[in-house]
Amino acid sequence: MDRATFETKLFRVLRWVVIAALIVVTLFPFYYMLLLSLRPIDEVLQNPGRIWAGPAEWTVQTYKQVLTSADEGGQGFLRFLTNSAIVSVAATILTLLVSIPGAYAVTRLRFVGRRQVHFLFLAVYLFPSILLAIPLFVLFTRLGLRGSLAGLTIVYIAQTVPVSIYMLRNYLSTIPVSLEEAAAVDGYSRLQTIRKVVLPLAAPAVMANALYIFMIAWNEFLFALLFLVEDRNDWTVSLGLAQLSGGIEVSKTVLMAGSVVLTLPIVALFFAAERLLTEGLTAGADKG
């Protein structure tokens, strides 16, 4: 057997080993999270190595405790969920409102300083967010924005706008200019062209972008910790969960229920949109 045949056979097997390993490595922690959130805590402490529990043993007590409001002795995650949703949705919409015209300008329009803009964007990523946190902490305290969801939203917009512009720019540059010229001939103003010609064509990219921004905002932890920690009513889910873990009296299974509550919306959204996105993006690729 020569080298080529041997390797071909070897990799045919190895490929499935890798795929199986990938599935285990990526999915198992999430499965374990879900499983632990459903098992009673004393049972977990006795048998930490079990990776299966039938529906008969399940308990939803953990979820009850996580979701009921703090006044009624729970952890009040419904409130945190609302806060996270408000911040993430606001950040997504506002970032898109800012970045779509920005991306259009960077792609299509020639203006003074167009090349220099990139250096400005680079600054966002070159400097650690902990560095931005110090002055923002002081600034927002003075403006009275610290401890408000609005302040946090502004930070998220600044953190996501540059990537958003890059992603959109890559897509916009594939749209033929002739379409826009045709629209201009028809008497469309530039804004009308963007709204009626460019945006519908760029819809998949805008969707992917929205998903990305939402994900960043929903998952963010550091700024939420710095700005919102003082008032429990303002906590986002990430922050609430981290604070919850600090208390010794909270059992690990409750912590896992909180993790599921935090993870579920983003994963559901991701799977729903992933399908939508790949169908749109890879429609032609499979036929190759």
Partner 1 sequence: MVATRQSRSAPERPPSRRKRPLTRRQQENRAGLAYLSPTLIVVLVVVVLPIIWTIMLAFQRIRLINVRRAGVFGQYTLANLELVLTSPGFWSSLWTTLVYTIGATVLSILFGLIAALALRAPFRGRTFVRAAVLLPYVAPVVAVTFVWEILLSPQFGMVNNWGTRFFGWDRAIAFLSQREYSMSLFGWQVDVPMALLTVIAFEAWRYFPFAFLFLLARLQAVPRELEEAALVDGAAPTQTFRHILLPQLGAVIALLSVLRFIMTFNKFDDIYLLTGGGAGTEVVSIRVYEYLTARFDIGAAAAQALVLAAGLIVLLIIYLRFLAPRVEDEGE
Give burial (CB, 10 Å; 0-12/13-18/19+) of 193. buried
Residue among 58 and 137 whose Cβ is closer to partner 1 = 137
Q: Which stretch binds partner 1 (CB under 8 A): 67-75, 85-93, 102-110, 202-210?
A: 102-110
Residue among 71 and 128 whose Cβ is closer to partner 1 = 128
Residue among 179 and 191 whose Cβ is closer to partner 1 = 191
Residues 6+ apart with CB under 8 A from 217: 87, 88, 91, 92, 153, 156, 160
- Distance between CA atoms of 57 and 256, rounded to whole angstroms? 16
Q: Assess 135 for contact with partner 1 (CB under 8 A).
A: yes
Q: Which stretch binds partner 1 (CB under 8 A): 53-61, 69-77, 105-113, 202-210?
A: 105-113
> Going residue by residue from 110 to 129, which x/- string records binding to partner 1, judged by CB under 8 A?
xxxxx--x--xx-xxxxxxx
Q: Taking a C-beta distance cutoff of 8 angstroms, is the pair 43, 251 a contact?
A: no
Enter the tokens of residue 163. Answer: 């990537």
Q: Taking a C-beta distance cutoff of 8 angstroms, is the pair 75, 244 a contact?
A: yes
**DSSP state, residue 70:** G
Q: Which stretch binds partner 1 (CB under 8 A): 11-19, 53-61, 64-72, 202-210?
A: 11-19
Q: Which stretch binds partner 1 (CB under 8 A): 54-62, 68-76, 175-183, 236-244?
A: 236-244
Q: Assess 222 for contact with partner 1 (CB under 8 A).
A: yes
Residue among 124 and 207 whose Cβ is closer to partner 1 = 124
Q: Assess 44 for contact with partner 1 (CB under 8 A).
A: yes
**DSSP state, residue 189:** -
Give burial (CB, 10 Å; 0-12/13-18/19+) of 198. buried
Closest CA to 276 of 218, 213, 203: 203
Q: Which stretch binds partner 1 (CB under 8 A): 67-75, 174-182, 196-204, 257-265?
A: 257-265
- Distance between CA atoms of 100 and 193, rounded to whole angstroms? 13
Enter the tokens of residue 190. Answer: 């530039």
**DSSP state, residue 218:** H
Residue among 58 and 221 whose Cβ is closer to partner 1 = 221
Residue among 71 and 286 whose Cβ is closer to partner 1 = 286
Residue among 161 and 206 whose Cβ is closer to partner 1 = 161
Q: Assess 97 for contact with partner 1 (CB under 8 A).
A: yes
How many positions of this chain bind partner 1 (CB under 8 A)?
95
Q: Assess 247 for contact with partner 1 (CB under 8 A).
A: no
What is the residue type of 28?
A: F
Which member of 53, 78, 85, 154 binds partner 1 (CB under 8 A)? 154
- Distance between CA atoms of 253 and 259, rounded to whole angstroms? 10
For partner 1, the binding residues in 161-200 under the rule CB under 8 A are 161-162, 165, 190
Q: Assess 266 for contact with partner 1 (CB under 8 A).
A: yes
